[in-house]
Amino acid sequence: MSRRPGPLYAIGGHEDKDRDRQILRAISDELGSGPLIIATVASHEPEGYFEAYRDAFAALGRQNLVEVYFRDRSEAHLAEHAALVDTASGIFFSGGDQARLVDMLRGTPFAAALGALHRRGGLIAGTSAGASAQGEQMLVAGSGEETHRIGDIEMAPGLGLIDKVIIDQHFAERGRIGRLLGAVAACPDFLGIGIDEDSAIRIESGVATAIGSGGVTIVDAARASRSNAQEAARGTVLSLHGVTLHALGAGDRFDLGARQPVGA
């Protein structure tokens, strides 16, 4: 009997590691008995990341953690690293630079092992850059806290764990609604998901559930009545009409395929 894919956690960054640890607790509670890999690959300077998560998960009773970090892409081709994923119950990607994370992993045996882990029911989580990298497309640059102007964002393929989704993080705290609107204007068949700090979505069977102390914003431009994203000159203010916006709080559920909330 085939297993269904495991849960995915996309966290907006700065999740609580010292008090209630709501998001980390939810992750810990779902893990099996195998190791949890803390992948610090997104960081150019990974020192301290693993220790912070080791201590946070130890407070939740989980001791079996191991760090994976790659100085260069060749290390993602080593059989020993793919074999480690084969024995793991889950993997947690810490923050940093999502472009570095994807450049290191995409198309490597480690990425293939990651996909196999997900398909056999293993848990995959990522915070900040580790959240953005999970989408089919990802934002890698763009101004926040201002109205979007054409040409101001840069996107690249992500790891493709979540189809037709672009994830942005530190969302409310850094005023990133403008750049997420720019992203969905450029890719209207994609949902834009903005996740606040100490907040997350848990995705299983195509349904996202909001967790944490902040909010999750979902932007859908598929039925927009007007967009100048393709024709306007660079630097022009974005014009985008008829966008659908959903604001999710803890416990709210959203069907990503149907593009609508689940339940009341």
Q: How far apart are CA 19 and CA 243, in angstroms?
A: 38
| Dist. CA 22–CA 169, nearest whole Å | 18
Q: Is 30 a catalytic residue?
A: no
**Given 132, 170, 197, 227, the catalytic residue:** 170
Residue-wise pLDDT tens digits, 56-96: 999 999 989 999 999 999 999 999 999 999 999 999 999 99
Paired tokens of 233: 């000159």
Query: Helix, strand, or coil here: 131?
Result: helix
Q: Is 128 part of the annotated catalytic residue set? A: yes
Asked if residues 161 and 138 have their Cβ atoms less than 8 Å apart, the reply is no
Exactly one of 146, 154, 239, 241 is catalytic; which is it?
146
* φ/ψ of residue 9, rounded to 5: -115, 125
Q: What is the pLDDT along the chain (264 residues), one digit of tens a residue?
A: 347 899 999 999 999 999 999 999 999 999 988 899 999 999 988 888 899 999 999 999 998 999 999 999 999 999 999 999 999 999 999 999 999 999 999 999 999 999 999 999 999 999 999 999 999 999 888 777 788 888 888 889 999 999 999 999 999 999 999 999 999 998 999 999 999 999 999 999 999 999 999 999 999 999 989 988 888 888 888 888 999 999 999 999 999 999 999 985
Considering the entire predicted model, what is its pTM?
0.93
Q: How far is CA 196 from the centre of its chain?
A: 12
CB atoms within 10 A of CB 187: 18
**Residue 173 Cα distances to 125, 144, 213, angstroms:** 21, 10, 13
At residue 118, what is the residue type?
H
Mark whether 45 is an active-site residue.
Answer: no
